[in-house]
Amino acid sequence: MQRFLLQRLVLLAPTLLLASLLIFAIIELAPGDPAQMMLGPDATPREVATERVRLGLDRPVPVRYLIWLEDVAHLNLGVSLVYDRPVTALVLEAFPNTLRLAVSALVLSVAIGFPLGILAALRQNQPVDFALTTVSSLGLAIPSFWLGILLILLFSVRLKWLPPSGVGSPDQGFGNSITYLVMPVCTIAVSNLAVFSRFVRSSMIDVLAADFTRTARAKGLAERVVVTRHALRNALIPVVTIVGIQFGRLLGGALITEAVFAYPGIGRLVVTSILNRDYPVVQAALMLIVLIFLAANLAVDLSYRYFDPRVSPGGAA
């Protein structure tokens, strides 16, 4: 297992390096001179030139890339052009909020999506199956920002049950902070639980038709035992990998959802930084997201190997 992990890490290195190159290119190719942006429109050309030297912008691009890479490795991500604060601090403030949102949404979508998928598979081609499949198709088609707005309309504007935006303050208590999470979590969870229920249904249908399930039934086992001990265990192997892959989708969902609910996470930080042309923050946030995404994919590879030892080190990619 350790050798397998080492091989996957080695394979990740070039991808990570290329991704860092792309992220670095964002600042290089973005319109506007960072030195001019930091000093404002009233700065003289001489001041701008001095600032360019101070920021190292006069050096060749490959040298700047290597310096930037070294800084990233030391978590020295520079200073925000807008907030005038260390980028690391801004990202570390926003990240726990996004993580809380994404993990809560993941747990909720698994808790609802899995049972729905199993139910649809057990009632294949019956009204329950058609209803669940239609609902999951709808879940995939509804844009998360519209769903978020509909939830605000219902639960904040009409019923006044939940706060429409923000994250609340820590001194208002745990219960209060939960109320701020309910709508964003549900918004992200809907499309993910639709994906999970579809995969679980598909996987269960395959496994229920497999020879070993038929053998289990032929032995006279109760249907409940056949489903839980034989079918479900095997059906969940491919599904577990989907949970990991979906984590990236969850982060994407978090970006939009945070914008709808003015939730102070990484997604909102990226969007506001792009609109404000605060490129050091954009770079840092994107780098963090790529790292999480690749770590999730690595976890998927490892889980695949754990659940199915036949997977060869080269074949899990």
Partner 1 sequence: MAATIGGAVGLAGPEPQARLRDRLAGNGIAVTVARLVRTRKGASGLAVLLALILVATFAPLLARYDPNENHLEAQLAPPSATYWFGTDELGRDIFSRVLFGSRPSLITGLLAVTLAASVGLLTGIVAGYARGWSDILGMRVWDALLAFPAIFLAIGIVSILGPGWINGTLAIAIVNIPVFARLVRAVTLSVVQRDFVMAARATGCSDGHIMRVHVFPNCLAPVIVQMAIAAPDAILVEAALSFLGLGSQPPNPSWGNMLSAAQGYLYRSSTYALFPGLAITLVVLGMNYFADGLQDAIDPRRLSGGRGGAAR
Whether the Cβ atoms of residue 188 and residue 102 lie closer than 8 Å to each other: yes
Other beta carbons within 10 Å of 154: 13
Report in angstroms how near the CB of residue 215 gets to partner 1 at its nearest. Answer: 20
Report in angstroms how near the CB of residue 133 gets to partner 1 at its nearest. Answer: 8
Which residues here bind partner 1, judged by CB under 8 A? 14-16, 18-19, 21-23, 25-26, 29-31, 117, 120-121, 133, 136-138, 140-143, 145-146, 149-150, 152-153, 156-158, 164, 195, 198-199, 201-203, 205-206, 248-249, 251-252, 255-256, 259-260, 270-271, 274-275, 277, 279, 282, 286, 289-290, 293-294
Comparison of 165 and 179: residue with beta carbon closer to partner 1: 165
The span from the CA of 36 to the CA of 283, in Å, is 19
Report in angstroms how near the CB of residue 253 gets to partner 1 at its nearest. Answer: 8
Comparison of 26 and 225: residue with beta carbon closer to partner 1: 26
Phi-psi region of 308 (alpha: psi -120 to 50; beta: other; left: phi over 0): beta
Comparison of 54 and 214: residue with beta carbon closer to partner 1: 214
Report in angstroms how near the CB of residue 158 gets to partner 1 at its nearest. Answer: 8
Report in angstroms how near the CB of residue 157 gets to partner 1 at its nearest. Answer: 5
Report in angstroms how near the CB of residue 219 gets to partner 1 at its nearest. Answer: 25
The span from the CA of 42 to the CA of 145, in Å, is 39
Report in angstroms how near the CB of residue 46 gets to partner 1 at its nearest. Answer: 29
Comparison of 54 and 233: residue with beta carbon closer to partner 1: 233
Report in angstroms how near the CB of residue 305 gets to partner 1 at its nearest. Answer: 20
Report in angstroms how near the CB of residue 50 gets to partner 1 at its nearest. Answer: 27
CB-based contacts of 317: which residues, under 8 Å, 6+ apart? 11, 301
Tokens for 180? 């701020």
Other beta carbons within 10 Å of 112: 17
Comparison of 201 and 230: residue with beta carbon closer to partner 1: 201
The span from the CA of 312 to the CA of 192, in Å, is 29
Comparison of 25 and 53: residue with beta carbon closer to partner 1: 25
Comparison of 30 and 75: residue with beta carbon closer to partner 1: 30
Comparison of 35 and 196: residue with beta carbon closer to partner 1: 196
- Classified as helix, coil or strand, 267 is helix
Whether the Cβ atoms of residue 222 and residue 191 lie closer than 8 Å to each other: no
CB-based contacts of 299: which residues, under 8 Å, 6+ apart? 244
Name the nearest CA neighbour of 274 among 73, 51, 43, 81: 81
Tokens for 158? 């009409």
Comparison of 212 and 225: residue with beta carbon closer to partner 1: 212
Tokens for 79? 């200073």
The span from the CA of 315 to the CA of 163, in Å, is 48
Tokens for 25? 């290119």
CB-based contacts of 249: which residues, under 8 Å, 6+ apart? 191, 192, 195
